[in-house]
Every structure is written in structure tokens, then in C-alpha cells.
Amino acid sequence: MASRNNTSARNEILQMLKDDHKRVKKAFRDFEKIDVESDPETAQQLVEQTCAELELHAMLEEELFYPAVRQALKEQDLVEEAEVEHDSAKQLIAQVRDLSPDDPKYKATFTVLGEYVKHHIKEEEGEMFEQLGRSKVDWQAVLEDMMERRVQLERELGLSEEEEEGMEAESTETAEEQEESPPLPAGGRGGDAMKTQQR
């Protein structure tokens, strides 16, 4: 059943997730270089952006990828652990969002989140992803669902295009005004759309 197309769909999913991993790991490295005290705005912007990216990634995995992994693996422990780790990360995300950058715990909370995330990524890439070899999952369908959901979530979380640039300026627009934004151009769907969004 593992047709060549299905294998390449699976690889495309793993690549999408690994690209996300790489991007957030870089964000945590960038954060280390920021002096939060003298540049709280830059710090907060990076924290907010990273938390939103982590949320999107976690939702994609929980809603679509992990259920497929459950189907693919006999042993469910890895998925159980991954979900527990997601919960811990979400608690830290909520905590750091509640803090102001001048809080002494701000930097520590985000740093600990980074450590959790790094550990989690290591387990996903080093164990979970490696064990998906011979499985009967319809990865092509999973890939399509993930790409569709991703576009949706990017809009919901304000991660689409370069929109977050303008979000710093106090958003006093009403919901009605915000809905006036032009629709996305058609035909942007597919593998290439995924690639172009990386900076």
C-alpha cells in the first residue's frame, strides 16, 4: 500500500514540521541575544510571534498529525508523551503572555519554554518521525488536511503573510473594519505556497 506518492506525502509532512521546528529554535536563539531590559518591545514582539507559531504547530499536530501517528504506530507511548509535553508548553505560553517584559520572571519563563520545546522537538524528530516507516496511513490525505488547516490557522492567529508588522500600532479598529481586508489571491494552495512563506 505504501505507494511512492504516499511516501513522498509523508516526507513532505515531516519536512513541514521540521521547518517549523527549525524556525522556532532560531527564535529562541534570537531571544537569547536580546537585552530584555533595554529593549522590551523587541523581546515582547519575538515572544508573541513565537508563541503564536508554537500554537499553530501544536494544533496542527494534535488535530491531524498525531491521530495519524497513532494509527501508524503500535506503541502509543510516544504520542501520549508528546501530548503531555504540549500541555506543559501551553501552560508556559499562557504564563509568559500574562507577564510584562519588566517582570523578573519574563525572561526565565520564555527560556524554560525554549528548553521544553527543544527537548520535545528532539523526541519528535529523533524517535516519533523515525518510526513512521512502514505504515498504512493515507499520508496524502493527512498532508492535504494539514495544509488546509494551516492556512486557516495562520489567518486566525495573525500569522499570514507579513501582517504582524502592522499589529504593533494600537489596534483600535472595530471587528467590522478588520473584515474589510482583501481576500487572498486564488491559486496559492499546494506545496509551493508552503515554501514561499518561509523567510
* Positions that interact with Fe ion (CB under 5 A): 61, 124
Give the residue with the Cβ less far from Fe ion, 36 or 146. Answer: 146
126 vs 182 by CB, closer to Fe ion: 126
Of residues 34 and 117, the one with the C-beta less far from Fe ion: 117
Task: Name the residue among 65, 181, 183, 81 with its Cα closest to residue 129.
Answer: 65
By C-beta, is 43 or 147 nearer to Fe ion?
147
Look-up of cell digits 498504512: 136
Q: Which residues of 159-191 are buried (b: 16+ CB within 10 A; e: fewer)?
A: bbeeeeeeeeeeeeeeeeeeeeeeeeeeeeeee
- Distance (Å, rounded) from C-alpha 177 to C-alpha 157? 18
**In the complex, least distance from residue 139 CB atom to Fe ion, rounded to whole angstroms:** 16
- Report the nearest approach of Fe ion to the CB of residue 1 (Å): 26
Distance of closest approach, residue 58 Cβ to Fe ion, in angstroms? 6
**In terms of CB distance, is 39 or 115 closer to Fe ion?**
115
Give me the least distance between CB of 116 and Fe ion, in Å please.
11
Contact 79, 93 (CB under 8 A): no
Between 9 and 36, name the residue whose CB sits nearer to Fe ion: 9
Q: How far is the CB of 22 from Fe ion (least distance, A)?
A: 11
Residue type, 44: Q
- In the complex, least distance from residue 24 CB atom to Fe ion, rounded to whole angstroms: 9
The Cα angle at residue 76 between residues 66 and 13, in degrees rounded to 5? 30
